[in-house]
Amino acid sequence: MTSSSDFAHDLLAALTRRPRSISPKYFYDTAGSALFDRICELPEYYPTRTELALLDTFGPEMAECIGAGADLVEFGAGSNVKIRRLLRALHAPRRFIPIDISAEHLMGAAQALQADHPGLQVQPLAADFTRSFELPPPLPLNGPGTAPRVGFFPGSSLGNFTPVEARGFLRRASALLRGGGLLIGIDLVKDPAVLHAAYNDAQGVTAAFNLNMLARANRELGTDFDLTAFDHYAFYQPVHQRIEMHLVARRAQHVHLAGRRFDFAAGDSLHTEYSYKYTVEGFRALAAESGFVPEAVWCDPQRLFSVHWLRS
């Protein structure tokens, strides 16, 4: 779990370095997690609805890959919407460990899930999975050994990592999930206009989500960001195959943090997020380099989004 002091430390570093950049994990306080849930419902934001349809349509095939009695771990479980779809298809899963950085959101969602699935052991873990963290001990089997762990990482959240970070995360995950596997959702490279619209919605929810980074700093750290003085700026960068999200100063201004003053010139940016897109083959190659055996892959007919089963 992150604390305000992690945020203070990282924001101070972000304002000091050039180019200025802060981790997107700080979007997800309670207000930010709620805004993200609204993004998932937007007409322009195709990833959530496309992935949910894949989980519904191919759930039985995914369940075959995963096998019976799974010990599931989800990285960034949010509101548990996706695991609920997968649970419809899974054969007698034994435990579900939702990991999320937003503790309050996590605990509420875990309680609701436990109430709806009395036979499943729901064991929430408030943690920052971009750092090292400890899982509860593996489940003992009736015979010798322990139940293999199965990871679930939907939503293309891997896209927030740079390719170097993604390789690092996948290497750690493949070690953690040895004997089991990872079911992971990956957004695909496509028409830049479709990508652009998904991060520039007409209702301005993505803009509010981006600006929540500054609103959260004002709430938690006592900074004096003027939210009307920054623009949401998101674009697709085709060379690196990624969306970049920035907060751009509309005019020259300054902000105070920890007794220090930080200046922005008009047009200066604070970079808040990357969202990398992959081709199916490119992602399978990355997974293979990181210790997994890429097995099945499921895509929608328009090839907007993909879900992969990687054996470990």
Contact residues for ligand AVJ, defined by CB under 6 A: 39, 47, 155-157, 159-160, 199, 206, 209, 273, 275
For ligand AVJ, the closer CB: 46 or 58: 46
Give the residue at shortest CB distance from ligand AVJ.
275
For ligand AVJ, the closer CB: 16 or 203: 203
C-alpha distance from residue 48 to each of 38, 78, 210, 261, 282 (Å): 11, 13, 18, 40, 21
For ligand AVJ, the closer CB: 51 or 71: 51
C-alpha distance from residue 111 to each of 70, 108, 121, 199 (Å): 20, 5, 11, 31
C-alpha distance from residue 23 to each of 175, 179, 281 (Å): 25, 32, 27
For ligand AVJ, the closer CB: 177 or 198: 198
In the complex, minimum distance from the CB of residue 27 to ligand AVJ, in angstroms, rounded to a whole number: 7
In the complex, minimum distance from the CB of residue 64 to ligand AVJ, in angstroms, rounded to a whole number: 26
User: CA 193 to CA 213: how far, in whole Å?
Assistant: 26
C-alpha distance from residue 312 to each of 38, 204, 241, 255, 309 (Å): 34, 40, 27, 47, 10
In the complex, minimum distance from the CB of residue 234 to ligand AVJ, in angstroms, rounded to a whole number: 7
In the complex, minimum distance from the CB of residue 140 to ligand AVJ, in angstroms, rounded to a whole number: 34
For ligand AVJ, the closer CB: 147 or 158: 158
C-alpha distance from residue 291 to each of 16, 171, 173, 200 (Å): 37, 6, 9, 36
Reduced to 3 states (helix: H, G, I; strand: E, B; else coil), residue 171 is helix
In the complex, minimum distance from the CB of residue 263 to ligand AVJ, in angstroms, rounded to a whole number: 27
Q: How many residues are listed for the chain in this entry?
A: 312
In the complex, minimum distance from the CB of residue 275 to ligand AVJ, in angstroms, rounded to a whole number: 3
For ligand AVJ, the closer CB: 21 or 180: 21
Strand 269-276 with 20-21, pairing: parallel
